[in-house]
Structure 1
Amino acid sequence: MKSLNEKKQIQLAEEEVKKYASIVESDPNRLRYHLMPPVGLMNDPNGLIYWKGAYHVFYQWMPFQTTHGAKFWGHYTSRDFVHWERQAPALAPSEWFDRNGCYSGSAVDNDGVLTLFYTGNVKDDDGTRHTYQCMAVSSDGVRFEKKGVVVHLPDGYTAHFRDPKVWKHENKWYMVIGAQSEQLDGKAVLFRSDDLMHWEHIGAIAGGEDGNFGYMWECPDVFRLSGKDVLIVCPQGLQPEGMHYQNVYQAGYFVGQLNYETGQYVHGTFTELDRGFEFYAPQTMVDEHGRRVMIAWMGVPDQDEDQHPTIAYRWVHALTLPRELVLIGDKLYQRPIEQLQLLRSDEVHHPNVFLQKEVRQFDGVKGKTVELLLKQIDGKGVFSIHIQNNVSFSYDFEQKVATLERESFARNGMKEKRQCLLSQLHTIHMFIDTSSIEIFLNDGEEVFTARFFTKEENEHISFQTNAEASFHLSKWKLC
Structure 2
Amino acid sequence: MNVRTQNLLCACQKLEGIQNKSDPWRPEFHVSPPVGWMNDPNGLCQIGDTHHLFFQYSPFDTKPGLNYWGHFSTRDFVHYTYQEPALCSDEQFDCHGVYSGSVLVENGQPLAFYTGNVKKVGAYDYVEEGREHNTILAQGWDGCHFHQKTLLLRNEDYPENVTCHVRDPKVWKEQDTYCMVLGARRKDDVGEVLFYQSTDLLHWELKNSLVTEKPLGYMWECPDYFVLDGVSVLTFSPQGVPADGFRFQNIYQSGYCVLHGDIGGDYTLSEFRELDAGFDFYAPQTYQDEQGRRILIGWLGMPDSDYGYAEKAYGWTQMQTIPRVLSVRDGALYQQPLPELQALRRSAFRIQVEESSEMRCAPAYETDIRVEEGDHLTLRFGTDGVLEWKDGMVTLSFGESGLGRTSRTAPLEQLKRIQLFCDTSSIEIFLNDGALVFTSRFYADPVASVFSVAVQKAEFIMWELQPISIRKENLL
TM-score (norm 2): 0.92
CA contact (8 A) 2:208 2:263 kept: no
Q: CA deviation at 1:384?
A: 0.8
**Whole-angstrom distance in 2 between the partners of 1:198 and 1:15:** 41
Q: CA deviation at 1:385?
A: 1.0
Q: CA deviation at 1:383?
A: 1.4
Match of 2:370 among 366, 375, 394: 375
Q: Which amino acid aligns with 2:289?
A: D
**Whole-angstrom distance in 2 between the partners of 1:37 and 1:433:** 16
Match of 1:228 among 227, 231, 242: 231
Q: CA deviation at 1:198?
A: 1.2
SS of match in other structure, 2:92: coil
Match of 1:406 in 2: 398
CA contact (8 A) 2:72 2:81 kept: yes
Q: How does 1:183-222 map to 2 (within 5 A)?
A: 183-207=188-212, 212-222=215-225
- Structure 2, unaligned stretches of length 5 or more? 125-129, 467-476
Does structure 1 residue 168 correspond to structure 2 residue 168?
no
CA contact (8 A) 1:53 1:79 kept: yes
Q: Which amino acid aligns with 2:354?
A: F
CA contact (8 A) 2:208 2:264 kept: no
**Whole-angstrom distance in 1 between the partners of 2:78 and 2:206:** 39
Match of 1:7 in 2: 5
Match of 1:438 in 2: 428
**1:125-178 alpha-carbon deviations (Å, 9 max, x no partner):** 115111101111144331211313112221221111100000011221111000
CA contact (8 A) 1:206 1:265 kept: no
Match of 1:60 among 56, 73, 76: 56
CA contact (8 A) 1:377 1:427 kept: no
SS of match in other structure, 1:278: coil
Q: Do the aligned partners of residues 328 and 229 (structure 1) sit closer, same or farther apart at CA in structure 2, a change above 3 Å counting? A: same
**1:316-355 alpha-carbon deviations (Å, 9 max, x no partner):** 111000000001122100000100100001111113x211
**Whole-angstrom distance in 2 between the partners of 1:76 and 1:114:** 15
Match of 1:83 among 75, 79, 103: 79
Match of 1:130 in 2: 132
Q: How does 1:3-402 map to 2 (within 5 A)?
A: 4-20=2-18, 22-23=19-20, 25-126=21-122, 127=124, 128-153=130-155, 154=158, 155-207=160-212, 212-262=215-265, 264-304=266-306, 307-351=308-352, 353-355=353-355, 359-362=356-359, 366-380=361-375, 382-396=376-390, 399-402=391-394
Does structure 1 residue 424 correspond to structure 2 residue 414?
yes
**Whole-angstrom distance in 1 between the partners of 2:253 and 2:137:** 28
**Whole-angstrom distance in 2 between the partners of 1:163 and 1:418:** 28
Q: CA deviation at 1:4?
A: 2.5
Does structure 1 residue 476 correspond to structure 2 residue 467?
no
Q: CA deviation at 1:208?
A: 6.3
Which gives a bigger RCO, structure 1 or 2 (Cα 8 Å, sep 6+)?
2
Q: CA deviation at 1:409?
A: 5.3
**Whole-angstrom distance in 1 between the partners of 2:222 and 2:261:** 18
Match of 2:448 in 1: 458
Q: Which amino acid aligns with 1:237?
A: G
**Whole-angstrom distance in 1 between the partners of 2:140 and 2:458:** 51
Q: Do the aligned partners of residues 408 and 170 (structure 1) sit closer, same or farther apart at CA in structure 2, a change above 3 Å counting? A: farther
Divergent runs of 4+, >6 A: none
**Whole-angstrom distance in 1 between the partners of 2:213 and 2:65:** 29
**Whole-angstrom distance in 1 between the partners of 2:385 and 2:22:** 23
CA contact (8 A) 2:401 2:444 kept: no
Q: Do the aligned partners of residues 149 and 160 (structure 1) sit closer, same or farther apart at CA in structure 2, a change above 3 Å counting? A: same
Q: Do the aligned partners of residues 275 and 428 (structure 1) sit closer, same or farther apart at CA in structure 2, a change above 3 Å counting? A: same
CA contact (8 A) 2:87 2:145 kept: no
Q: Which amino acid aligns with 1:449?
A: T
Q: CA deviation at 1:268?
A: 1.0
SS of match in other structure, 2:4: helix
Q: CA deviation at 1:415?
A: 7.1
SS of match in other structure, 2:73: strand
**Whole-angstrom distance in 2 between the partners of 1:141 and 1:208:** 44
**Whole-angstrom distance in 1 between the partners of 2:26 and 2:164:** 36
CA contact (8 A) 1:117 1:136 kept: yes
**Whole-angstrom distance in 2 between the partners of 1:261 and 1:240:** 31
CA contact (8 A) 2:114 2:169 kept: yes
- Identity across the alignment (%): 38
SS of match in other structure, 1:342: helix
SS of match in other structure, 1:97: helix
CA contact (8 A) 1:101 1:121 kept: yes
Q: CA deviation at 1:183?
A: 1.4
**Whole-angstrom distance in 2 between the partners of 1:110 and 1:67:** 34
**Whole-angstrom distance in 1 between the partners of 2:16 and 2:49:** 29
Q: CA deviation at 1:207?
A: 4.5
Q: Do the aligned partners of residues 445 and 436 (structure 1) sit closer, same or farther apart at CA in structure 2, a change above 3 Å counting? A: same
- Structure 1, unaligned stretches of length 5 or more? none
Match of 2:470 in 1: none
Q: CA deviation at 1:11?
A: 3.0
SS of match in other structure, 2:222: strand
**1:36-72 alpha-carbon deviations (Å, 9 max, x no partner):** 0110111000000011220000000111111111211
- Number of matched pairs: 457
Q: CA deviation at 1:261?
A: 4.3
CA contact (8 A) 1:10 1:92 kept: no
CA contact (8 A) 2:192 2:219 kept: yes
SS of match in other structure, 2:397: strand
Q: Do the aligned partners of residues 197 and 173 (structure 1) sit closer, same or farther apart at CA in structure 2, a change above 3 Å counting? A: same
**Whole-angstrom distance in 2 between the partners of 1:14 and 1:92:** 15
Q: Which amino acid aligns with 2:387?
A: F
